């Protein structure tokens, strides 16, 4: 599954458009958040909050990223500000006060890591890049995103290799 995902990213960077890249990262975010929430104990009062988290905040974040630098201020503040206010309010409305702060913190952490942080990778495609001399950068933004993903993958590979080589005593 992991190899298929990486191959999908490579094909996307080389052949497809910015919109498909944003959609692909959005699907990966949705999948990552689903896996995170699956491992996190939730209560019945959290289900409607999770519905809004999955089906409002996650797609809206990627729609704003897809629009581009026009909505930069909104997509950089929507989840840390508005979602962080909405999640505790929605859980409080559910009327289930048991372990309130723990539940809020776990949902917010998942949203910040799985959606907010990951959404900044395709946001690289809409950056206005300039050289140190002030002139616009002529390189490919898709190449920059590919380089970013390649470095992350190489980090995982080298960490595994060094762990195997030096981890044995």
CA angle (35, 50, 82) in 5-degree steps: 115
- Which H or E run contains 131? none
Between 125 and 90, the higher pLDDT residue:
90
Q: What are the residues facing 130 on neighbouring strands?
A: 136
Span 126-144, pLDDT tens digits: 888 778 888 887 777 778 8
pLDDT of 14 strictly over 60: no
Q: How confident is the model at residue 155 (pLDDT cuts 50, 70, 90)?
A: very high
Q: What is the DSSP letter of 53?
A: I
Q: 40: Cβ–Cβ under 8 A, 6 or more apart, which residues?
A: 106, 107, 110
pLDDT digits (tens, 9 = 90+) for 16-58: 678 888 998 999 999 999 999 999 999 998 999 999 999 999 9
The residue written with tokens 């689903």 in the block is 34
The sign of the dihedral angle between the CA atoms of 72, 116, 61, 79 is negative
In the chain, where the domains are located: 15-124
The pTM is what? Answer: 0.81
pLDDT grade, residue 12 (50/70/90)? low
């Amino acid at each position: 599954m992991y190899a298929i995902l990486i191959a999908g990213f490579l094909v996307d960077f080389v052949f497809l458009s910015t919109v498909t890249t944003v959609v692909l990262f959005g699907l990966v975010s949705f999948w990552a958040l689903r896996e995170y929430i699956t491992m996190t104990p939730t209560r019945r009062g959290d289900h409607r909050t999770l519905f809004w988290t999955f089906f409002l905040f996650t797609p809206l974040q990627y729609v704003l990223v897809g629009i581009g630098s026009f909505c930069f201020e909104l997509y950089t503040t929507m989840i840390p500000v508005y979602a962080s206010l909405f999640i505790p309010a929605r859980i409080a409305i559910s009327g289930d006060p048991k372990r309130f702060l723990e539940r809020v913190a776990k949902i917010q952490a998942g949203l910040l890591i799985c959606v907010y942080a990951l959404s900044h990778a395709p946001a690289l495609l809409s950056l206005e890049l300039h050289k140190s001399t002030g002139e616009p950068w002529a390189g490919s933004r898709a190449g920059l995103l590919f380089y970013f993903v390649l470095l992350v993958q190489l980090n995982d590979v080298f960490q595994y290799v060094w762990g195997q080589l030096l981890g044995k005593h």
